[in-house]
Amino acid sequence: MTQPQDYGTPPGGPAYPSYPQSGYGQPQSGYGQPQSGYGQPQSGYGQTQPGYGQPQSGYGQPHPAYGYQPVGKDPSLAAWWQRLLARIVDGAILAVLFSPLWIPPWSSFLKAIRTIRDQYPAGTNLSAIPAARNLITHAESHLVGRLFVIGLLFYLVAFAYDWIQHGLWGQTIGKRALGTQVVMADGRGKVGGGSAAGRAAIYALSPMVPFVGGLFDLLNELWLTWDPRRQCLHDKAAHTVVVRKDYPGPQPLAGRR
C-alpha cells in the first residue's frame, strides 16, 4: 500500500531547515556601522585651518612701503627752544655785521635835528614854524630812504646766509652752536641747493612785505609749536625737518601724513 508522502510540517518544527545565511540577516560590514570618513570629523573640515581666523604675517601690520607709521613725538627732532636760540644767535651775528651800516644814517639824522634846533631859541616849538618843520621832514625822509636800502640789503644777506650754509652743511652758525641740523623730511638726506634756497627765501624775504609779511613771519615761527614734525611753514614748503645732532643711534624716518 502506497504511503502517503509527508508534505506537512512536524509539530513545532519548520517547514524547511533554517541555515544561517552569510550576508543576510546579519549586519553587513559597511552598513549600519559608522563608516570611516562619515560621521567623524574630517581632516580639514570643522577644524581651524591654518591661515584662516588667525592673524596673518604681513596683514594688519604697518607696511613701511606705504608710510603707515605713527608720527608721534620724534625724539630726534630739535626742540622749539633749540630752534629759537639758534635763530637768535644767527640774528645777533647779522646785526653785528650790519651795525656799521645802521649807525651812519642815525648819526646823520640826529646831527641834522641838532642843527635845526640850534637855529632857534631854546624851548621853541619847531613844529609850529613852517621852515623848521620842512627841514625836519626832509631829514626824516632822508633817514627812511637810507634805512630802507640798508634793510633791503639786510634781508638779501640774511637770505644768502641761510641758503649757502644750509645748502653746503645743513647748519648755520647758530645751529652748530645748538647742535641741530636741517635734513630732508623723507629719508633724512642732505638738503639740496634748491630746497635750501626755497626755505631761506620764505624765512628771510617774507618780512620785506609791509604788514602782511610781519604777520606771516610770526605765524611761520609759531607753527612748529603745534606741528607733529615741529616744522615751520618754510620747512613744509621745502620738505625739511630740523634734527638733533646728539641724538643717540640711527634717527628714525619721519612718518608720512
How many beta carbons lie within 10 A of that of residue 67, not counting itself?
A: 13
User: Does any domain span residue 112?
Assistant: yes
Q: Is the pLDDT of residue 20 over 70?
A: no
Cell 508522502, residue located: 5
User: Does any domain span residue 185?
Assistant: yes
Cβ atoms 69, 224 nearer than 8 A: no
- Encode pLDDT of 32-90 as tens digits: 454 444 445 444 444 544 444 444 444 444 444 333 344 457 999 999 999 999 999 99
Band the pLDDT of 256: cuts 50, 70, 90.
Answer: very low
User: Does any domain span residue 22?
Assistant: no
User: Does any domain span residue 147?
Assistant: yes
Domain span including residue 199: 80-244
User: Does any domain span residue 62?
Assistant: no
Q: Is the pLDDT of residue 234 over 60?
A: yes
- Encode pLDDT of 162-201 as tens digits: 999 999 999 999 999 999 999 999 989 999 999 999 999 9
Band the pLDDT of 219: cuts 50, 70, 90.
Answer: very high
User: Does any domain span residue 152?
Assistant: yes
Percent of the chain with pLDDT over 70: 68
* pLDDT (mean) for 106-122: 91
User: Does any domain span residue 126?
Assistant: yes
What is the predicted pLDDT for the residue at 66?
36
Taking alpha carbons only, the member of 209, 201, 208 closest to residue 238 is 201
Average pLDDT of the chain is: 78
Q: Is the pLDDT of residue 94 over 60?
A: yes
What is the predicted pLDDT for the residue at 51?
46
Overall domain count for the chain:
1
* pLDDT (mean) for 219-248: 93
More confident residue, 100 or 1: 100
User: Does any domain span residue 56?
Assistant: no
Band the pLDDT of 250: cuts 50, 70, 90.
Answer: low
Report the alpha-carbon distance of residue 174 to residue 93 in Å, rounded: 9
Residue partners of 180: CB distance under 8 A and separation at least 6 = 78, 82, 83, 86, 171, 242, 243, 244, 245
Percent of the chain with pLDDT over 90: 54
Encoded amino acid at 102, one letter: W
Report the alpha-carbon distance of residue 162 to residue 154 in Å, rounded: 12
